[in-house]
Structure 1
Amino acid sequence: MLILAWLFYGLQICASAAVYSRGSGGHTTCQLRDDNPHPKQPGSRIPVPTLYSQRYSEQTFIGTHNSAAVRTPDNGWSISGNQYFNVSMQLRSGVRLLQAQGHLDPDGPDEIRLCHFNCALMDGGSLNEHLLAVKDFLETHRDEVVTLLFVNAVHGGLLTWIKAYYDTGLDLLSYSPPREKRGGAMLLDDWPTIDEMVATNKRAVTFLSSGADEDAAPYLLNEFDYMFETDFGIEAPDQYSCLPSRPRWPGSYIPPRLSLVNHFLYAKFLGFRYPNATYANTTNSAGFRVGELGEHAARCRSAYERRPNFLLVDFFNEGDVFDVDYGMNAF
């Protein structure tokens, strides 16, 4: 009875505070809304020209968490979304890492869809569409480098990833490390400079969280051979860490690898976490108070004794993410 009452309560909440949409399987789902949001227009990245002659591994880039999961009027500003602007706008504004999660399309098993956990909750479109947006940006901005990070939920589906890169032509723009530097052998000093990547026109760097085979596709890199991530799933501003969480290392050891600092905040509804848009302006602030992006980035820079490489955020247009980007890179 208690379980039935709880489900009924949830349905009441859903009916009063949600929109209904068609999932990728054609069924109707209930999605909570971000009622009447007023997202700020995105700021702009300020490049630091001296960094073009420095290594890819020597600078900080802003990344978008679940970059393809966008809240729009068409989906009722669904709280399953982590951003307010699409990937093309993200890139034009100055985002240089796009993170997403790939799933096989249940209606077309030869295609990968970019969804977070479940495509019925938020379908961010096909991988091919995503890659074409990146390719278009790179072809019109020939001195830029873009990083893609995918959680690979396509078990045993590496060929599907390879096909998407081949079909869109992004494989031809993708960076592949030297063979002798694969399998965890590539350290910070082994990465090329931005100038070198531009000169060779290898300006897309792609990491897969699992399932990579660099002999079969040398441009799809096994994420945790090349970088570490800090904790995610943060629900309070004082929980942000700089220590490696994936993969874990002994004690407080910081390995000489790329660093991804997760800096996004969750709220909860009926025990379920969702991206906290209400607090985003503070979460993404350039200030130095606990919970702000500026403080977290500066603390990690001190702990690493170098710039953190990627700062991963929700709602990149809120707060001052590009001020933090500039502050990290200019000094």
Structure 2
Amino acid sequence: MLVPVALSILLSGVLSGSATLTRRATTCNGFSELCDRSYGNVSFVGAHDSYAVGTNNLAVNQDYDVTQQLTDGVRLLQMQALNNSGTIQLCHTSCLLFNGGTLQDYLTKVKTWMDANPNDVVTLLIVNINNLAPSLFGDVFSNVGLDKVSYAPKNSTTAFTDWPTLGSMIDSGTRLVTFLDNQADLTSVPYLLDEFTNVWETPFDVTTEFDCSVNRTKGDSSTQMYLINHFLDMVVLGNPAPNVGAANVTNSLSGTNSLGAQVDLCVAQYSRPPNFLLVDFYEYGGGSVFQEAANLNGVTYSPTTPIAQPKSTSSSASGSGQSGGSTTTGNGNGAISGSHGVASLLVALSVLLGAFTVV
């Protein structure tokens, strides 16, 4: 009778809240050290406009699709979503400028990757360009099965100190966190969280020097998680466009305008590291963006396989970076040259149409 009695005591304790179940997850986002770490106390690498994939095109921000991004270590996927003839698609303000396909196709890839990697917590950040109702996004999440793995908090606002641990999120099976930049309503879709009551951001569309000022928030920045927009743009026909030519330098660990420099500045200013490091062309720098996140998390970055190599080798701005990434050359003044010529025509057309906006 000892076993039934012991089991009865354990169940009684669990029901009363006095017992603690043993955590099953032993590795969380690749590191055992992160399992007991709060989600709000972890730094994640994010891919800016993660759907905008291509080469030699001023409307793209990444060389590799979402599956490769996740495989290499990206854990925040940012995207811009709008209504295109009744379907939610991923586009730069206008789908005429760049169409990244449907949200459903994109999320299907995310679901497939998450199913194959059950010990990872992933975050989505959706820029809701057309102010669509959260229920429309919820329908897509349900169609691909991501609603079942989505984390739904008890309150609409969670301080960075009050998030659950990665281990508990993995154990509960709710390991996808999704933020909408507007229109979130937990009474409608409980797992689509309002970004700016939970996360504040630094300025975006930076073409000169990065800083750590609070650019967008709807809450108390001292209690929120925060995201640094660390993607460098250049001005093309009066509009910002990704500066792939400087990506090795921008993504590096040290030096002027590097990721490491902005992180150091923010840590000095706020006495805590950023939660999200949002970058373009994440693979430039040979893994430096992941090294920076590992440094902040107090873990050792040692991938079992090399990350992907850069594809976008054409340049319109000078700069070469760390080993592992392609070296790019240029005239350093942001002028368009070579294979970027066709893309510049697209930009010019979009300007005439009033369509070119990058966030």
TM-score calculated relative to the size of structure 1: 0.78
Q: Residue by residue, what CA displacement relative to the aligned partner does 1:214-238 show, whole Å, maximum 9, x if unpaired?
A: 10101000111111001111011x2
Change (3 A) 1:295 1:48: farther
Q: Residue by residue, what CA displacement relative to the aligned partner does 1:51-93 show, whole Å, maximum 9, x if unpaired?
A: 2111001110000100000114xxxx32100000000000000
User: Which of 137, 154, 161 is the aligned partner of 1:161?
Assistant: 137
User: Which of 147, 165, 189 is the aligned partner of 1:217?
Assistant: 189
Q: Aligned ranges for residues 298-313 of structure 1 at < 5 Å?
A: 298-313=264-279
Partner of 1:284: 251
Q: Secondary structure at the match of 2:74?
A: coil
Q: Is the 8 A contact 1:69 1:82 kept in 2?
A: yes
Tell me the CA shift for residue 119 of structure 1. Answer: 0.8
Tell me the CA shift for residue 308 of structure 1. Answer: 1.0
Give the AA of the match of 1:263.
Answer: H
State the alpha-carbon separation in 1 of the partners of residues 61 and 233 from structure 2. Answer: 10
Tell me the CA shift for residue 248 of structure 1. Answer: 7.0
Q: Secondary structure at the match of 2:35?
A: helix
Aligned pair 1:177/2:143, yes or no? no
Aligned length: 269
Tell me the CA shift for residue 208 of structure 1. Answer: 0.3
Partner of 1:13: none
Q: Is the 8 A contact 2:250 2:259 kept in 1?
A: yes
Partner of 1:231: 203
State the alpha-carbon separation in 2 of the partners of residues 114 and 231 from structure 1. Answer: 22
Give the AA of the match of 1:159.
Answer: S
- Aligned sequence identity (%): 37
State the alpha-carbon separation in 1 of the partners of residues 62 and 217 from structure 2. Answer: 27
Q: Residue by residue, what CA displacement relative to the aligned partner does 1:100-121 show, whole Å, maximum 9, x if unpaired?
A: 0001113xx1x20001111111
Partner of 1:272: 239
State the alpha-carbon separation in 1 of the partners of residues 134 and 191 from structure 2. Answer: 12
Aligned pair 1:105/2:84, yes or no? yes
Give the AA of the match of 1:245.
Answer: N
Partner of 2:66: 87
Q: Residue by residue, what CA displacement relative to the aligned partner does 1:149-168 show, whole Å, maximum 9, x if unpaired?
A: 01002334332211101111
Tell me the CA shift for residue 322 of structure 1. Answer: 1.1
Q: Is the 8 A contact 1:48 1:329 kept in 2?
A: no
**Greater than 3 Å deviation, 4+ residue runs:** none
Q: Is the 8 A contact 2:50 2:79 kept in 1?
A: yes
Change (3 A) 1:292 1:85: same
State the alpha-carbon separation in 1 of the partners of residues 69 and 177 from structure 2. Answer: 17
Q: Secondary structure at the match of 2:94?
A: coil
User: Which of 184, 187, 192 is the aligned partner of 2:164?
Assistant: 192
Q: Secondary structure at the match of 1:224?
A: coil
State the alpha-carbon separation in 2 of the partners of residues 138 and 248 from structure 1. Answer: 31
State the alpha-carbon separation in 2 of the partners of residues 66 and 325 from structure 1. Answer: 19
Q: Secondary structure at the match of 1:121?
A: strand
Q: Is the 8 A contact 1:101 1:114 kept in 2?
A: yes
Q: Residue by residue, what CA displacement relative to the aligned partner does 1:125-173 show, whole Å, maximum 9, x if unpaired?
A: 1101111111111111111000000100233433221110111110000
Tell me the CA shift for residue 290 of structure 1. Answer: 2.2
Q: Is the 8 A contact 2:135 2:189 kept in 1?
A: no
Tell me the CA shift for residue 254 of structure 1. Answer: 4.3
Partner of 2:217: 247
Max Rg structure? 2
- Measured on the aligned residues, the alpha-carbon RMSD in Å equals 1.6
Partner of 1:260: 227
Q: Is the 8 A contact 1:127 1:164 kept in 2?
A: yes
Partner of 1:326: 294
Q: Secondary structure at the match of 2:216?
A: coil
State the alpha-carbon separation in 2 of the partners of residues 157 and 258 from structure 1. Answer: 25
Partner of 1:36: none
Q: Residue by residue, what CA displacement relative to the aligned partner does 1:184-230 show, whole Å, maximum 9, x if unpaired?
A: 3x212210000000010001100000011110101000111111001
